[in-house]
Structure 1
Amino acid sequence: MAEPRTIDVHAHILTLDTLARINREAPGYRLAIRDVSGDFGTLDTGAQTYAKFPRGGWDVEKRLADMERARFDRQVLSILPQTVAYEEEASLGLALSQIQNEAIAALVRARPDRFIGLGTVPMQAPEEAARELRRCMSELGLKGIMTGSNVAGRDFDDPALEPVWAAAEELGAFIFIHPTMTAAGERLKNYYFRNFIGNPLDTTIAAASLVFGGVLERHPGLKVYLSHGGGFIPFQHHRFVHGWGEREESKAKLAVSPEASLRRLLFDTILHGPEPLKFLVDFAGADRVLLGSDYPYDMGQYDGVAVMEGLDVPAADKAKVLAGNARRLLGLD
């Protein structure tokens, strides 16, 4: 298998076979893709309706054609953010995780030249989540998990989640945090602010909870990858460090400066322009930035390879961001 020059680490999928199995084996969870017309359908989870859900979300051949156009040699598949299902009862959450994990693992087995897989776990039941994470990596060949940015409103510093973080560090799991159930909903209901502002805001809260909750200090081996350029984390890094030095509240669970923990976070490239991406690579370092697209959503970025190639950074750094970091962090080398 040829070594990939580009790996898109942020991409979502829900095939029709997976959807059918969910409806057959987990009838307590409503899920449908309806009103399909051309390249779009409506995704309906009961709690959420997403109009104009792109065909590439369920059609693998369409996905492969789009990957060719975007020059993505390989893609890391994860579930849809709409199907993390943390608000469901634990047994249903586990069943949904297992079905989706097995489906992604099957896609990877069928096309190992194009796909790599991440699983999902029922974070509302941390002990079950840790067991399913072990199964993902030991039995299914997945490289880690995608998580929502909160667990039905609980943040990641919740002590109950410790089994998940401990297992993830032990296994070397790649943890991809994607915003779900974003904060400040009422104030963000207009103008699509729920996505424009809510998504990066909730990613920021998730990452800051891991930092100030001492999770990354206790588990320095965790590999935590943040969506959409890391939300506001890269731009507020020094504010957090300054604040820890000034405010006793920030020391409640973190006895040392947050600097080291912040420097462990990883970021995708989805910033929709060269100027913020150049800042991110310069500030975080090329070793901590990985190519992402948010395929197949309309807020995704599909010119990421060209933007990265055009940045005024060394060729070696471009190669790291486009594929090298993913190979190292996902254990592909």
Structure 2
Amino acid sequence: MDLTTERTSSTAAVDTHAHFFGLDVSDALAGIEDSRWPTLRVDSPDGGSIMLGDKSFRTVRSALWDVDARIAELDVAGVAVQLISPVPVMLAYWAEEAFGVACARATNDSIAAAVAGSRGRLAGLGTVPLPHVGAAIEELRRVVVDLGLVGVEIGTQIAGEDLDAPRLAPFFEAAESLGAVLFVHPTDGGGGVIRRAGQPYDFGLGMITDTAIAATALVFGGVLARFPALRVALAHGCGSFAWAYPRLSLGARIWHDADQDRLDELLRSLWVDSLVFDPEHLRLLVSRFGPGHVMLGTDYPFIPGQLEGARDFLAAARAAGALSADTARDILAANGFAFIGKPVDVGAVAAERYTPRSIR
């Protein structure tokens, strides 16, 4: 197939999986010390390190905190809007309530400031101290109502509890009522999920297994049935859930007399990103979740090549017959706009700086 025959010069990308860590977070939490809470160390104009106490957790580029540097890279990649969320290590589910609230508020204020200063190029997800459900609901309201963010990022498990834990139900009720979107992301890098530890096991199997367990709790644990208006997305293409789903649903039918059509309906209410590293995998994601619920996700700025290679990735899926031209274009932009839930006039978004690029 000659993909150049169907180029669309007006196609504008929307990236729904990207992380942000503002330098102002540490200032807001000055005087509060805990080696489990991450801080940023700037080593040069181009980068630095996320620190846990005096140990380097991760080497990072300045685009993690520098909004102008980020927007410049979005321009080069042809991305009109990026949905930013906290670095997962910032979801401090280990913290006691007062500290957890302080960390969440500082993180959310920082993300809101980045969005406000982005000239319409960023939308934001905050965080809440979810082990403390009452405080989490209060902060969720502040995030959505006062700060104007579209929702929050939450972990695949909450202080050792899965997402269908009964005590979390009031939080999901509040999210549904507020119209807040939820983005589910592993918090511990896949550690402790499978019997092998270290790399590549944690990254390659642990994270996607952890995400699949979270999706299983949502679909089979009753969360989505109880709160049908929830908008929930899961990172990394929902992990291994798309592959495990037929076996899970068979087990539910055998042991719990589950209704397959109802399970399929709940499954297709979920949203997933495209961060699966194999164009052929997109075929199954579209089949499971529907062509309208697969969105572009890059894990920016952590995994090299994903942002700038997004169009080539979708083009490869088209060339393999895994995606139609229309579905590829929807994954690139329309589905992300739909998930965010706020219409964006792409033509008016920083028009003097942004030039849309096509799917090649």
TM-score (ref. length: structure 2): 0.83
2:162 counterpart SS class:
coil
Quick one: distance in 2 between partners of 1:284 and 1:47?
A: 43
Residue 325 of structure 2 is matched in structure 1 by 315
Quick one: distance in 2 between partners of 1:145 and 1:193?
A: 28
Of stretches 277-286 and 265-274 in structure 1, the one that deviates more from structure 2 is: 277-286
Deviation at 1:258, TM superposition (A): 2.8
Counterpart of 2:123 (choices 116, 121, 144) is 116
1:278 aligns with 2:288: no
Contact map agreement 1:183 1:201 (CA 8 A) in 2: no
> Which residue type is aligned with residue 271 of structure 1?
V
Quick one: distance in 2 between partners of 1:256 and 1:48?
A: 50
For residues 39-74 of structure 1, the C-alpha deviation after alignment (integer angstroms, 9 at most, x for no partner) is 442211349742322322122232222222332211
Quick one: distance in 2 between partners of 1:300 and 1:154?
A: 34
Residue 324 of structure 1 is matched in structure 2 by 334
Contact map agreement 1:45 1:82 (CA 8 A) in 2: no
1:237 aligns with 2:242: no
Residue 6 of structure 2 is matched in structure 1 by none
> Which residue type is aligned with residue 164 of structure 1?
F
1:305 aligns with 2:315: no
Cα distance change of structure 1 residues 4 and 113 upon mapping to structure 2, 3 Å threshold: farther
Quick one: distance in 2 between partners of 1:316 and 1:255?
A: 29
Of stretches 29-38 and 301-310 in structure 1, the one that deviates more from structure 2 is: 29-38
Cα distance change of structure 1 residues 186 and 171 upon mapping to structure 2, 3 Å threshold: closer
> Which residue type is aligned with residue 337 of structure 2?
R
> Which residue type is aligned with residue 227 of structure 1?
A
Deviation at 1:146, TM superposition (A): 0.4
For residues 198-256 of structure 1, the C-alpha deviation after alignment (integer angstroms, 9 at most, x for no partner) is 111111111111222201110111111011111011112211111101124x97xx999
> Which residue type is aligned with residue 267 of structure 2?
L
Counterpart of 1:59 (choices 55, 58, 66) is 66
Matched pairs, number: 327
Quick one: distance in 2 between partners of 1:170 and 1:283?
A: 27
Deviation at 1:186, TM superposition (A): 7.4
Query: Where do 5+ consecutive residues of structure 1 fail to align?
Result: none
Deviation at 1:82, TM superposition (A): 0.6
For residues 281-323 of structure 1, the C-alpha deviation after alignment (integer angstroms, 9 at most, x for no partner) is 2442210101111011137722123212443233332232112
Contact map agreement 1:129 1:164 (CA 8 A) in 2: yes
Quick one: distance in 2 between partners of 1:156 and 1:149?
A: 7
Question: Which has more radius of gyration?
Answer: 2
1:274 counterpart SS class:
coil
Counterpart of 2:15 (choices 5, 8, 15) is 8
1:193 aligns with 2:198: no
Asked which structure has the greater RCO (Cα within 8 Å, sep 6+), the reply is: 2
Quick one: distance in 1 between partners of 2:144 and 2:128?
A: 12
> Which residue type is aligned with residue 267 of structure 1?
V
Counterpart of 1:267 (choices 263, 268, 272) is 272
Quick one: distance in 2 between partners of 1:92 and 1:146?
A: 18
Contact map agreement 2:22 2:111 (CA 8 A) in 1: no
Cα distance change of structure 1 residues 74 and 219 upon mapping to structure 2, 3 Å threshold: same
Quick one: distance in 2 between partners of 1:307 and 1:159?
A: 40
Q: How many percent of aligned residue pairs carry the same amino acid?
A: 34
Q: CA RMSD in A?
A: 2.5
